[in-house]
Amino acid sequence: MDKRHSFFLLDSEIARIEALIDSYWSAFNTFQIVIREAKVKPDHVSSLTPKDGAMAHFVALDKIRINCDTALAYLEQLVSRIPSKEKDELNSLKGQLAPLEVFDAKLFAHLNSAIEEYEEAHYLASALLAGKAIVYVLEQLPGETDEDKASALVKSSLLDEKIKPNFLKGARRARVHFTHDISAIPLPQDALGLVSDACDLSLKLMKAKTK
């Protein structure tokens, strides 16, 4: 049985919940135009009286929480400087990077900063940070040349032989294009590619070092 069925609310608690519902409807009405454009249809939250039981008040609070989460998610899309698809990709990268913080905190910080700069549409800053991380990781891998390093990763099953050319292309781009050519300004896809490469290569380094 739900423990909430046995709860009793004090008059002061009921008054606070009713005030919260009133505030919710005030915000809802202000937000009505945006909600209509977004085709968001939050659940109805009824007004309550002191005669309503505790469970009815809990249900109202749950609906308010869900509706506010829905509204906030839509507002975040409105203020985001990048498309939602790219935002999702970056969020996925953040999740994958979590174990890296213990392995190399400074590398982790650089990658997080590269992602944050991209989220603000600062593509040059993002590309430079990602390129710096890639160069750092390459220097930690065994081998004299990028070709040697790629071969070592393939040998250790951390890199597919089929994508070795892409690895080498990314390494060259990180070492030279945006870090040495003052006229090179990265397009969004360039910066995102570097960020993705930097994250992937950093995770490969972590796996190679912790085998």
Q: Kindly list the domain boundaries of the chain, sorted by start residue.
A: 3-79, 84-209
Task: State percent of the chain over pLDDT 70.
Answer: 79
Residue 136 to residue 128: CA distance in whole angstroms: 12
Band of residue 178 on the pLDDT scale cut at 50, 70, 90: low
Question: For position 2, what pLDDT does the model report?
Answer: 44
Residue 3 to residue 14: CA distance in whole angstroms: 18
Taking a C-beta distance cutoff of 8 angstroms, is the pair 106, 154 a contact? no
- Please report, for residues 39, 50, 151, 163, 183, the alpha-carbon distance to residue 19 in angstroms, rounded to integers and kept in the order given: 27, 12, 66, 60, 58
DSSP string, 135-203: HHHHHHSSSSSHHHHHHHHHHTTSS-GGGHHHHHHHHHIIIIIHHH-TT----HHHHHHHHHHHHHHHH
Band of residue 80 on the pLDDT scale cut at 50, 70, 90: low
Treating both helix axes as pointing N-terminal to C-terminal, what angle do 84-97 and 188-209 enclose, rounded to 10 degrees? 20
In this structure, what DSSP letter does residue 51 have?
T
- Classify domain 84-209 by CATH number: 1.20.120
Q: Which two three-digit tokens encode residue 82?
A: 């990048």
The model's pTM? 0.62
Mean pLDDT, the chain, integer: 81
> Is residue 4 scored above 50 in pLDDT?
no
Model confidence pLDDT, tens digit, residues 38-64: 555 666 666 655 566 677 777 878 888
**Better-predicted residue by pLDDT, 179 or 138:** 138
> Is residue 6 scored above 50 in pLDDT?
no
> Is residue 156 scored above 50 in pLDDT?
yes
Residues whose CB falls within 8 Å of the CB of residue 11, separated by 6 or more in sequence, listed in order: 50
